[in-house]
Amino acid sequence: MNRIFATKAGSNVYRLRIPWRPLSNDAAPLLSSQNAGNPEKESEAKQYDIAIVGGGMVGLALACSLASRPLTRHLNVAIIDSNPALGRKHFIKKEDLPDPRVSTITPATISFFKDIGAWQFVEQHRHAYFDKMQVWDYTGLSYAKYNARDADKEVLGCVVENTVLLSSLLSRVQETDLPKKIYPSRLNSMSILPNSSSSEVDSTLSMTALFTHGRLAKLELEDGNSLYVKLVVGADGGKSRVRELAGFRTTGWNYSQNAIICTVEHDVENHCAWQRFLPSGPLALLPIGDKFSNIVWTMSPKESSEFKSITEDNFLEAVNRALDYGYGPHPTPSILGSSDLFSWLKGGISKSANDCFEIPPKVIKLASERMAFPLSLRHANDYASKRVALIGDAAHTVHPLAGQGVNLGFGDASTLSSVISEGIAVGADIGEVSLLKKYEADRKPANVMMMAVLDGFQKAYSVDFGPLNILRAAAFHGAHHISPLKKSIISYASGEMRLPLFA
């Protein structure tokens, strides 16, 4: 494996003024000394402005975002992913059963999808906006109800199947004029040489010469193709190969918890997002439209293998119990007092403070297989180095309890394309580290804050201890009644990225 890592080049992006020009997809065939052993593949070496490694939701969102900006829409982009779905034009049909993998997307993500022209497709397929959410725990001490009207919003979010999101982004990227090529393969190796001493490099030099001068990265794919690119974007998920090859270290831990996910059917349509904290972890019931809901149930790996293998009837009974009287009583508002307790507060009582606790609709049928995912928290210490940037789960993997993971990734995609556009506006090299560090400086604090909040929640709600239960109930109670607190929680969860309480 040919691994040459970038050295820290302290050069200033505004000093290095290589005139920008889009690269041609029909770049002249290249014979390099690097791959002289394979003449057939040498002739296929191509040059691109950007290689997006990973055509998942976040990688494709970056391609759409680049296609939507005047200064980036002519960039030559390679998308590398072996997922066969990317080779098809329309890979979902209306009559298909729901995909058990769904994402709760925030109003900020909905605006982003509208900006990049991908929302129309989502609206033509199954999706469910929700404007109400109920959160409670098994102790029966308290509950919190959130309503979009508490924050003067129309919706709290929308639940969309991952295949619908992926398909909408793929359709959008296919219909734009962005010069792109999808490689149905996987990244094998990546080489990046230090910048040569001369600050001015003629950008019309051959690919190998630019590579030797440190102006291009070289990628080798599993199918034998070689690509030369100005910028490599790692959008290749939690086990990112780009992150590994670039030598980025990570911080994180496994939660020793699995999430069981599946789709279930009701006999009425569900319009609310429900989440109950059980001793083993949270259980979420999310509306997805057409009388279907999605279940995300966090539990120990041992329990998850049991719940995956029990009969459908026993599983449905366990879900209905867990969303009702199982593990503890229904919460009653009287336990911690009424909303009068908070009447002295400036900003007042929230609009939904008098909304009663409700029992979620019963599940009557399993509408998909049950899948189990191990849960972990992982964060890359750096998101950017020379010619490399990480986005999405490649940069950060979070606990799914608040449905924020892919929303953070879409935020990365939007910011990175904006930073690339700013770089092009000033004639910068889009792979220059000082430019890419602007992206990191923008996204890292927001992502770290969200990770800390979610990790805190995970820990606070996984302990069964008398005094902590009371504190937890008080937190629910406050969140239920206090208008400014409720408003700032909703804004933060909506993707407005201001800190709860201090907004």
Other CB atoms within 10 Å distance of the CB of residue 244: 16
Which residues does residue 258 pair with via DSSP β-bridges, in sequence order? 299, 374
Residue 43, CA atoms < 13 Å, CB-side half-sphere? 2
Could you tell me if 146 and 132 are in contact, meaning their C-beta atoms sit under 8 angstroms apart?
Answer: yes
Query: Which one among 47, 56, 378, 389 touches ligand FAD, defined by CB under 6 A?
Result: 56
How many degrees, rounded to 5, is the angle at CA 479 between CA 475 and CA 480?
115
What are the phi and psi torsion angles at 458 (to 5°)? -55, -45
Which CB, 323 or 485, lies closer to ligand FAD?
323
Minimum Å gap between C-beta 407 and ligand FAD is 4
Query: Which one among 128, 233, 259, 450 touches ligand FAD, defined by CB under 6 A?
Result: 259
Verify binding: residue 53, ligand FAD, rule CB under 6 A: yes
Question: Which range binds ligand FAD by CB under 6 A, 77-85, 419-427, 428-436, 490-498?
Answer: 77-85
Verify binding: residue 237, ligand FAD, rule CB under 6 A: yes
Binding mask 101-140 for ligand FAD (x = CB under 6 A): --xx------------------------------------
Q: Find the helix or strand (DSSP H, E) in which 390 lies.
A: strand 388-390
How many residues touch ligand FAD (CB under 6 A)?
Answer: 31
Using CB atoms within 10 Å of the CB of residue 357, give its burial: 0 to 12 exposed, 13 to 18 middle, 19+ buried: middle
Query: Which one among 81, 99, 137, 429 touches ligand FAD, defined by CB under 6 A?
Result: 81
Verify binding: residue 99, ligand FAD, rule CB under 6 A: no
What are the phi and psi torsion angles at 384 (to 5°)? -145, 140
Minimum Å gap between C-beta 346 and ligand FAD is 33
- Give every CB contact of residue 458 below 8 A, 6+ residues apart in sequence: 255, 281, 399, 401
Range list of β-strands (E), 248-310: 250-265, 272-278, 281-289, 292-299
Radius of gyration of the CA atoms of the chain, in A: 25
Question: Which range binds ligand FAD by CB under 6 A, 22-30, 48-56, 132-140, 357-365?
Answer: 48-56
Minimum Å gap between C-beta 68 and ligand FAD is 18
Minimum Å gap between C-beta 112 and ligand FAD is 12
Verify binding: residue 42, ligand FAD, rule CB under 6 A: no
Which CB, 78 or 336, lies closer to ligand FAD?
78
The string over 97-118, giving b where at least 16 C-beta atoms fall within 10 Å of a residue's C-beta and e elsewhere, is ebbbbbbbbbbbbbebbeebbb
Q: Which of 407, 402, 130 is nearest to 273 (CA)?
A: 130
Which CB, 64 or 141, lies closer to ligand FAD?
64
Identify the three-state secondary structure at position 455.
helix
Verify binding: residue 83, ligand FAD, rule CB under 6 A: yes
Compute the distance between CA of residue 36 and CA of residue 50 in angstroms, rounded to an integer.
24
Verify binding: residue 77, ligand FAD, rule CB under 6 A: no
Query: Which one among 51, 144, 296, 353 touches ligand FAD, defined by CB under 6 A?
Result: 296
Query: Which one among 141, 235, 367, 485 touches ligand FAD, defined by CB under 6 A?
Result: 235
Question: Which range binds ligand FAD by CB under 6 A, 13-21, 47-55, 189-197, 322-330?
Answer: 47-55
Tokens coding 136: 């409670």
Verify binding: residue 295, ligand FAD, rule CB under 6 A: no
Minimum Å gap between C-beta 212 and ligand FAD is 25
Which CB, 59 or 431, lies closer to ligand FAD?
59
Distance of CA 98 to the CA centre of its chain: 20
Which CB, 428 or 489, lies closer to ligand FAD?
489
Minimum Å gap between C-beta 284 and ligand FAD is 8
Binding mask 175-204 for ligand FAD (x = CB under 6 A): -----------xx-----------------
Minimum Å gap between C-beta 391 and ligand FAD is 7
Question: Which range binds ligand FAD by CB under 6 A, 57-65, 243-251, 457-465, 493-501?
Answer: 57-65
User: In the range 373-432, which residues lie near ligand FAD by CB under 6 A?
Assistant: 373, 392-393, 400, 403-407, 409
Torsion of the alpha carbons at 470, 473, 475 and 478, rounded to the nearest 10: -120
Which CB, 112 or 342, lies closer to ligand FAD?
112
Ordered DSSP codes for 321-360: HHTTTTTSPPP-GGGG--GGGGTTSTT-B-TTTTPPP-PP
> Count of residues for the chain?
503
Which CB, 281 or 360, lies closer to ligand FAD?
281
Using CB atoms within 10 Å of the CB of residue 378, give its burial: 0 to 12 exposed, 13 to 18 middle, 19+ buried: buried
Could you tell me if 446 and 412 are in contact, meaning their C-beta atoms sit under 8 angstroms apart?
Answer: no
How many degrees, rounded to 5, is the angle at CA 248 between CA 245 and CA 253?
115
Q: Give me the amino acid identity at 188.
A: N
Q: What are the residues binding ligand FAD (CB under 6 A)?
A: 53-59, 80-81, 83, 103-104, 186-187, 235-237, 241, 259, 261, 296, 373, 392-393, 400, 403-407, 409
